[in-house]
Amino acid sequence: MVIDGKTIAGGILERLKRLPKPAKFFGAVLVGDDPASLNFLKQKEKVAQELGIEFRLYKLPVLSTTDELREEIGRLARPVTCGGFIVQLPLPEKINRHYVLNAIPKEKDVDFLSEAALGAFYTERSTAMPPSAAVVEEILKLERRDLRNLTVVMVGAGFLIGKPVGFWLQNRVAELVVLDSKVKDLHARLRGADMVISGAGQPGLFSAEHLKEGAVVIDFGFSRNALGKLAGDFDPAGADAKNVHYTKTPGGTGPVLVAKLFENFYVLNKQA
């Protein structure tokens, strides 16, 4: 069964529309002109327009140095009229990513990319959540699964997906196993999982044949397969026959991530 991310995201946005709208703008930085990154930002701008929130996109030169980016991002995010700020990833390879992201003020870091915002989350001092962890929470509510009885396998431990999701799950589930996507016995180690959460970015990394009956797959993977089509880490072939519940790509976790980004915008501005 497909877990429809667009429907879930629509429900989140309807909830937000019933709340007082923050009277501040949502800022975003794009370094260079990568088409995929620009497309992601257009999706975020579209949601902002739906909510009636001013969205400001700042394009910075791809040849900017780390120090130049940090200084400019700090300047753009500083105004009191700015209620939330993001830096679209990936950044150019020569850039010190963490140094740049730390220029985002914690109280405006809706994407939880700075060390200050993540530190507040990891020490349970934040009322908002990294969007990836919030997506998992939202889907689990809809699936009505008892976390205390679940064996969960995380594929990948990156700072965007694996680390925040793993931290949120670690004291909530019966067992949490974190695997590198290149582990030799990956498929064998998926067979006992009640839920698989993947953010490896490797199209068709695993399929329903590697999973138990009735498993849940939350797929954050997003890349192009050999045919040039967008695909997730999970190949859905045979999923219905084994009653596997899964997020599709595209249209799965992506729309929910964007909706949770704006939910954070509301939460952080309510605190201000």
Residue at token pair 């939880």: 112
Say yes or no: do domains 24-108 and 131-254 share a fold: yes
What percent of the chain has pLDDT above 70? 99
Separation between Cα atoms, residue 105 and residue 152, nearest integer Å? 33
How many helices (H) does the chain have, and how many strands (E)? 9, 13
CATH architecture, domain defined by 24-108: 3-Layer(aba) Sandwich (3.40)
Residue type, 176: L
CATH of range 131-254; options 3.40.50.720, 1.20.120.1780, 3.40.50.150, 3.40.50.11540: 3.40.50.720
Half-sphere exposure in the Cβ direction for 182 (13 Å, CA): 0
Entry pTM? 0.95
pLDDT in tens, 49-65: 999 999 999 999 999 99
Look up residue 15 and give its amino acid: R
Residue ranges of domains in the chain: 24-108, 131-254
Q: Which two tokens stand for residue 129?
A: 């959540």
Mean of pLDDT over the chain: 95
pLDDT in tens, 32-48: 999 989 999 999 999 99
Q: How far apart are CA 202 and CA 173, in angstroms?
A: 26
Residue-by-residue pLDDT tens, the chain, 272 positions: 999 999 999 999 999 999 999 999 999 999 999 998 999 999 999 999 999 999 999 999 999 999 999 999 999 999 999 999 999 999 999 999 999 999 999 999 999 999 999 999 999 999 999 999 999 999 999 998 889 999 999 999 899 999 999 999 999 999 999 999 889 999 999 999 999 999 999 999 999 999 999 999 999 998 888 888 889 999 999 999 999 999 999 999 999 999 999 999 999 998 65
Strand order in the sheet with 25-31: 55-60, 25-31, 82-87
